[in-house]
Amino acid sequence: MNKTIKIVSLFVVIMLNFGTKMQAQLQKGQLVDGIAAVIGDEIVLESDIEDQANYAKQQGADVSDKCEFLDGIIGNKILIYEAKRDTLIEDRSSAIKEMAATKYKQILSQFPDEKTMLSTYKFRTSYEMKTAIEKIDTDNYYGQQKYGRITEKADVTPNEVTDFFEMYKTQFPRVKDEVTLAQISVYPKLTDEHKQELIDKLKRIKQDIENGESFESQARIYSEDPGSAANGGLMTNISKGQMVKPFEAAALNLQEGEISDPVESEFGYHLIQLVKKSGRIYNASHILLKTEPTAAEIESAKKELDSIKTLIKDGKLSFKEAAFRFSDDKNTKFNAGIIASGSGDKIEKSRLPAIISYQIAGLNKGDMTDVFESELDRRKTVTFMRVEGTFPEHQVTLETDYDRIKQMALDKKMGEIVDKWIKEKVPEIFISINGRYNNCTFKERWGK
């Protein structure tokens, strides 16, 4: 589909349209760093652009034009600036920082060593790369939140969907083979003996801390939380309601400096220390031991799922009822187990994980897979799936792809709403663009 129908929101543009011409437009050695633009109190540095461009390029983004990128980033920064002033948008700084650390480790796992990764992404230190990831994720969060607030009431009528299709139907690509899948996934249950081992280990760690070891050092040694372990277990600026209920209830019942007994949550067992509390915001440190199931516990879960699968096969239980009653996947259990994808429930077969492609190979509508090991929210699960529908490669039509077309029409309409909103906000916001970009032809007129 050509550019007239690439419906992307501004916060996505920031991630997907970084410029490859950065080096071409600025001569080598001409500039070490500097301010590219100021939007309200949001500053865009040349180094920020380059760091984010290197990061985006390695994620597969098309890097093509610096002027186009800056045009998009200014629009996004207006959303971010206004989002941070919007009291109805939650401050997620602490969670974003933790997720940035987790993302860094996930990227690192794809490389033989840290030096190779940093060289590939063109960062000098791990701190630089983590900071860049955090900046990108922070901007994306606030941009998306404000975008959603502006467009929350947007909708399209059937006539608008039809008009959209008629206008762009010659530009729609062919849809590749797709499939609709439903699943039931369960976390293997730990035995009482296994649970007690984890509890006893945390009690020993707590005793060591009371005998003089620091909480920070013990967290670095023992905690299995990838987001906070390297920081001594510390999590800052946590808002009430942000953490899972067992964790928050235990943390907020502590006095500052006090350490809890082992606390069970869906992620495992925690030792929690309340560091500081002020109104609805608090800082806490924790040591997490994940509930990693043993081979025997996984096998027991497989047998349980096999029996559920048999009940469905024999007509004694519907798949929808089984998903609601037994599945641990909160994203699908209330939707008859059906896996959502984008604007609907059709998933392109070529994009399925290898393990799922293998499991559904040769299956027809209504067939169920064997029970197999999988992962959900970074925890081991056992799963089986049912093929709800198969859709061979075809040209997009209203009859076969109405939901897809409706979402594209809605995306276009929301983009127009946000564009209009930004134009109305521009006169109210201080915007300054460095003179180095005087030759750029921006889509929007940002200059005062």
**237 plus 181 within the same structural domain:** no
373, 384 Cβ separation under 8 angstroms: no
**26 plus 146 within the same structural domain:** yes
**139 plus 9 within the same structural domain:** yes
Closest CA to 121 of 140, 107, 135: 107
**16 plus 93 within the same structural domain:** yes
Among the three residues 248, 264, 290, which one is the final residue of a domain in this structure? 290
**Sorting pLDDT into bands at 50, 70 and 90, what band is 7?**
very low
**215 vs 48, residue with greater confidence:** 215
Question: Which one of 7-21, 36-50, 285-299 scores highest in mean pLDDT?
Answer: 285-299
**58 plus 184 within the same structural domain:** no
**In-domain check, residue 361:** yes
**240 plus 356 within the same structural domain:** no
**183 plus 321 within the same structural domain:** yes
**Sorting pLDDT into bands at 50, 70 and 90, what band is 323?**
very high
What does each C-alpha distance from 326 to 246, 305, 340, 373 come to in angstroms? 22, 9, 19, 16
CB crowding 102-125: b at 16 or more within 10 Å, else e: bbbeebbeeeeeeeebbeebebee
Half-sphere exposure of residue 213, counting CA atoms within 13 Å on the CB side? 15
**In-domain check, residue 163:** no
**In-domain check, residue 102:** yes
Sign of torsion, CA 392 396 398 401?
Answer: positive
- CATH of residue 93: 1.10.4030
**In-domain check, residue 169:** no
**In-domain check, residue 100:** yes
Average pLDDT, the chain: 87
Please state the φ and ψ torsions of residue 54, each to the nearest 5 degrees: -65, -40
**In-domain check, residue 446:** no
**Sorting pLDDT into bands at 50, 70 and 90, what band is 241?**
confident
Please calculate the CA angle 215-220-222 and round it to the nearest 5 degrees: 90
The three-state (H, E, C) secondary structure of the chain, written as one string: CCHHHCCCCHHHHHHHCCCCCHHHHCCCCCCCCCEEEEECCEEEEHHHHHHHHHHHHHCCCCCCCHHHHHHHHHHHHHHHHHHHHCCCCCCCHHHHHHHHHHHHHHHHCCCCCHHHHHHHHCCCCHHHHHHHHHHHHHHHHHHHHHHHHHHCCCCCCHHHHHHHHHHHHHHCCEECCEEEEEEEEECCCCCHHHHHHHHHHHHHHHHHHHCCCCHHHHHHHHCCCCCCHHHCCEEEEEECCCCCHHHHHHHHCCCCCCECCCEEECCEEEEEEEEEEECCEEEEEEEEEECCCCHHHHHHHHHHHHHHHHHHHCCCCCHHHHHHHHCCCCCCHHHCCECCECCECCEEHHHCCHHHHHHHCCCCCCCECCCEEEEECCEEEEEEEEEEEEECCEECCHHHHHHHHHHHHHHHHHHHHHHHHHHHHHHHCCEEECHHHCCCCCCCCCCC
**202 plus 330 within the same structural domain:** no
**In-domain check, residue 321:** yes
Among the three residues 257, 275, 290, which one is the final residue of a domain in this structure? 290
**65 plus 131 within the same structural domain:** yes
Closest CA to 54 of 18, 26, 103: 18
User: What are 183-240's pLDDT values in tens digits?
Assistant: 999 999 999 999 999 999 999 999 999 999 999 999 999 999 887 898 899 988 888 8
Among the three residues 290, 313, 344, which one is the final residue of a domain in this structure? 290
Please tell me the predicted confidence (pLDDT) of residue 59: 66
**16 plus 145 within the same structural domain:** yes
Q: What is the largest CA-CA distance in the chain?
A: 74
Q: Range with the lowest mean pLDDT among 107-111, 164-168, 219-223, 323-327?
A: 107-111
Please tell me the predicted confidence (pLDDT) of residue 441: 82
**25 plus 91 within the same structural domain:** yes
**331 plus 385 within the same structural domain:** yes
Find the domain containing 243 and state its range. 192-290
- CATH of residue 219: 3.10.50.40
What pTM does this model have? Answer: 0.65
Q: Is the pLDDT of residue 354 over 60?
A: yes
Per the structure, the count of domains in the chain is 3
**298 vs 52, residue with greater confidence:** 298
Task: Work out the percent of the chain whose per-residue pLDDT is above 90.
Answer: 61
For residue 124 the two structure tokens come to 């000098």
**In-domain check, residue 447:** no
Please state the φ and ψ torsions of residue 190, each to the nearest 5 degrees: -80, 145
